Amino acid sequence: MIVRAKDALQKYFGFQNFRGGQEKVIQSLLDRQDTLTIMPTGAGKSITYQIPALLLEGITFVISPLISLMKDQVDSLQETGVSGTFINSSLSPREVRSRIQRIQHGEYKLVYLAPERLESEEFLGTLLNLPISFIAVDEAHCVSQWGHDFRPSYLRINRFVQSLPIRPLIGAFTATATEEVKRDIILRLGLKKPYVFIGGFDRPNLKFIVLRGENKKEFILNYLKIHPNQSGIIYAATRKEVDRLFKFLKGKGFGVGRYHAGMRDLERKESQEAFIFDDISIIIATNAFGMGIDKSNVRFVIHHNMPKNMESYYQEAGRAGRDGEASECILLFGQQDVQIQKLLIEETISSRERQANEYQKLQEMVAYCHASTCLRKTILEYFGEVQVPEQCFNCSNCEEDKEKVDVTIDAQKILSCVYRMKERFGMAMVADVLKGSLKKRVIQFKLNQLSTHGIMRETPLQEIKDRINFLAAEGYLSVNAGQYPIIRLSPKAVPVLKGQEKVYQMLLPQKEIPITEMEKIFERLRILRKTIAQQEGLPPYMIFQDSTLREMATLCPGDKRTLLGVNGVGEKKLEKYGELFLNEIQEAFSSLKLNQSKEPFQEEGTVKGEDLFLKQVTIGRVSDTKKKLNQEIISREKKASHLLTLELYKKGNTISEIADIRHITVPTIENHLLRCAEAGYEALFDDFIPFGQEPLILDAIQAVGGEKLKPIKDTLPEEISYLTIKAVLLKLKYKNR
């Protein structure tokens, strides 16, 4: 059956291989075993129930709470050639009756259903005689009162299952579940001896960045300037902050929208649709935005303010990079964010016990913002993962090219000024005194007579405020709550004032992304996709995802057969759009003068991988083109380091060649590839395991355990390397997931 599943994956979805644990989940369901799947956002949960739905006899019902997402899911399935529909409160009674009749006539394989429909006995009566073979419960954590989004309507699912004449197969799917929630899902959905797959919480394609004490508006403005045309979400804590930022960026000429509960329903809907259809590239929103948005090409999520807890942050940040492409999650921390969240907790939660719990979660979020260790490790350990690597090489704390700036002198001036002002004033007044202002209030309080008055006269006022913000974010200054916050010295400031400690600010330089030839082709394909999407009335990502367009731009396929080999190009989409994209690739290729030779191309359909690109250039310049291709891959600054290594490896470069190309040591390249294999990108383990060595290593692990490498190595022949041992351990861990 799994062979048929891979055929369906290629035919309908255009992918050659399953990712991560998809194959295990699908195999379990095809074996008709109840299954609970915990898999992070962007890992491909939907495919794990859509493929079985296509292969099993009868109809599959998908229970989903996200009404706004159902139409997108059904439209996306229909684009791939799969018959599906949905039933929810957005339909009139007449439309519901019509769809039920068509379901009864066998016109649909998948039916998306809102759980609230299960509360209607009349509606349930229409389903009793349907050949329901499989029920997939999406967002399964909603069945548990201990989950972060409990929905009482989910408790009806088990009663509905019990009312059916023949019990169908049940699959439950969620991105997050604690042990308590997991037990609740199994119990309340009535899963029978379920296979439980836990895929972990890591999103390797996401780069996590925390910046403290930044001028937030200026940072966002600069970021958007050097990331033009990229789709992104900017979250702010309050409606007022959303409106203020929206007005600021719109005034700077950016195509932005906004979304918060204070807007009219129609205005919110228009903003959301403009963002989904790529009519605007940026939306500024409160946390009300995002649930049920399946937009796959969000390249960045910026938090203008710190969220109240890690669950909220990871859910919101996780809306970036759902297509698996490299994306950034940036949190701009300011000390004032803590006060905002405390006020929101006090205003919205009356129970003292719940308030205490929320304050604890808030403190853990503050600790994340000040962490000096790997940010990804901090997140994953929060969610209960163990044996997380010390460094991910894809977060701001693991960044190799951070700039360390000594700001001790400025810090001493500011801290001294706060002390001499007797810790009675706010940031604006402190900044005015340092600048040497002679405003009425400065003179009224005789602050112009202080020795620190004007000691930063040559520094721009905004820069002084930014530095004060930085010192507050780093804990040298404390900010009290209230309408007029006052800044005070914290104990951490004392050794700085005494000259015993220095203060450093880590700067993460924003780099412009070079526009390579591949990026130019990619941009042309994006424009073509947008034109087709407008004609079809669909969001552009439903035509092809960014990752698919980027692979087209890299490989430059010259015929339909090779285009079908691109991930994301299935048979139906090849038939509908293949000719259009092939023509655009050829025109783009010609206009960029990548093919300057008059020698004939190689025969069509005879090459794959890197050669799909090479076939577009002269046979006599293959080595030059390979070199050029490697350099273009490297020039993509936003690609995570380990994913960049994987891409070069897949192009046929050896480990030593990649180390030479990237100026990185061989062991680092090896660790990159093993990390990619562990994350499920490619089953690369066997590439590092010479024939005959795996059984010896497994025997050694059985004898001395697998916790430490050295005891294993000591029991093995000398020719077996640490790299091979690591590969076997990771392969074993991967199989046991």
Report the DSSP pairing between strands 35-38 and 195-198.
Answer: parallel
Over residues 530-537, the mean pLDDT reads: 89
Question: Same domain for 193 and 246?
Answer: no
pLDDT > 70 in the chain, percent: 87
Per-residue pLDDT at 433 = 96
pLDDT > 90 in the chain, percent: 34
**Where does the pLDDT of residue 513 fall: very low under 50, low under 70, confident under 90, or very high at 90 and above?**
low
Give the residue from 241, 240, 223 showing the smallest Cα distance to 232.
223
Q: Is 455 inside any structural domain?
A: yes
Question: Same domain for 421 and 535?
Answer: no
Over residues 150-167, the mean pLDDT reads: 90
- Mean pLDDT lowest for which of 82-91, 255-264, 726-735? 726-735
Q: What is the pLDDT of residues 128-144, one digit of tens each?
A: 888 999 999 998 988 88
Q: Catalogue the E-assigned strands of 318-457.
A: 327-333, 403-406
Over residues 580-590, the mean pLDDT reads: 86
Asked if residue 45 lies in contact with residue 35, where contact means CB atoms within 8 angstroms, the answer is: no
Question: Same domain for 380 and 490?
Answer: no
Q: What is the DSSP code string of 509-563?
A: ---PPP--HHHHHHHHHHHHHHHHHHHHTS-HHHH--HHHHHHHHHH---SHHHH
**Where does the pLDDT of residue 682 fall: very low under 50, low under 70, confident under 90, or very high at 90 and above?**
low
Question: Same domain for 389 and 467?
Answer: no
490: Cβ contacts below 8 Å, ≥ 6 apart: 475, 476, 477, 478
SS3 328: strand
Per-residue pLDDT at 736 = 63
Report the DSSP pairing between strands 477-479 and 487-489.
Answer: antiparallel
Boundary residue ending a domain (400, 433, 457) = 400
**Where does the pLDDT of residue 595 fall: very low under 50, low under 70, confident under 90, or very high at 90 and above?**
very low
d(Cα 246, Cα 236) in Å, to the nearest integer?
A: 10
Q: Is 588 inside any structural domain?
A: yes
Per-residue pLDDT at 683 = 63
Over residues 508-537, the mean pLDDT reads: 81
Q: What is the pLDDT of residues 90-116, one digit of tens each?
A: 888 889 889 988 998 889 999 999 898
Boundary residue ending a domain (181, 198, 215) = 198
Q: Whole-prediction pTM value?
A: 0.66
Question: Same domain for 28 and 88?
Answer: yes
Q: Is the pLDDT assigned to residue 562 strictly greater than 70?
A: yes
**Where does the pLDDT of residue 440 fall: very low under 50, low under 70, confident under 90, or very high at 90 and above?**
very high
State the DSSP H helix or E strand holding residue 285, giving kind and residue range, or none if neither.
Answer: strand 282-285
CATH of the domain at 463: 1.10.10.10
Helices (H), 256-351: 265-276, 310-317, 335-348
Boundary residue ending a domain (589, 607, 625) = 625
Per-residue pLDDT at 266 = 87
Beta bridge partners of 84: 110
Q: Is the pLDDT assigned to residue 679 strictly greater than 50?
A: yes
Q: Is 674 inside any structural domain?
A: no
Per-residue pLDDT at 296 = 84
Q: Is 86 inside any structural domain?
A: yes
Q: Residue 571 is part of which domain span?
A: 517-625
Q: What is the pLDDT of residues 616-663, one digit of tens each?
A: 332 223 344 444 455 555 554 445 677 778 888 877 777 877 877 776
160's tokens? 């509905």
Per-residue pLDDT at 44 = 82
Instruction: Order across the sheet with 132-137: list the strands.
Output: 84-87, 110-113, 59-63, 132-137, 169-174, 35-38, 195-198
Q: What is the pLDDT of residues 279-290, one digit of tens each?
A: 999 999 987 675
Question: Same domain for 312 and 333?
Answer: yes
- Sign of the torsion formed by the C-alpha atoms of 253, 257, 262 and 266: positive
Question: Same domain for 395 and 414?
Answer: no
Over residues 679-705, the mean pLDDT reads: 79
Over residues 159-163, the mean pLDDT reads: 91
Whole-number average pLDDT of the chain = 83
Question: Same domain for 414 and 561?
Answer: no
Q: What is the pLDDT of residues 263-306, one digit of tens each?
A: 988 888 888 889 988 999 999 998 767 555 678 889 999 999 99
**Where does the pLDDT of residue 2 fall: very low under 50, low under 70, confident under 90, or very high at 90 and above?**
low
Q: Is 634 inside any structural domain?
A: no
Q: Is 673 inside any structural domain?
A: no
Q: Is the pLDDT assigned to residue 714 strictly greater than 90?
A: no
Over residues 420-436, the mean pLDDT reads: 93
**Where does the pLDDT of residue 189 fall: very low under 50, low under 70, confident under 90, or very high at 90 and above?**
very high
Question: Same domain for 368 and 257?
Answer: yes
Q: Is the pLDDT assigned to residue 737 strictly greater than 70?
A: no
Q: Is 664 inside any structural domain?
A: no
Q: Is the pLDDT assigned to residue 603 strictly greater than 50?
A: no
More confident residue, 462 or 457: 457
Task: Please tell me the total count of domains within the chain.
Answer: 5
Question: How far from the centroid of its chain's Cα atoms is residue 566's Cα?
Answer: 22
Beta bridge partners of 196: 36
Question: Same domain for 707 and 601?
Answer: no
- Looking at residue 371, its amino acid is A
CATH of the domain at 185: 3.40.50.300
- Mean pLDDT lowest for which of 9-18, 399-408, 714-723? 399-408
Over residues 523-543, the mean pLDDT reads: 90
Q: Is 638 inside any structural domain?
A: no
Q: What is the pLDDT of residues 33-47, one digit of tens each?
A: 999 998 877 778 899
Question: Same domain for 696 and 569?
Answer: no
Backbone angles phi, psi at 275, to 5 degrees: -70, -45
User: For residue 723, what are the CA distances in angstroms to 694, 703, 709, 726, 730?
Assistant: 12, 19, 10, 5, 11
Question: Same domain for 58 and 173?
Answer: yes
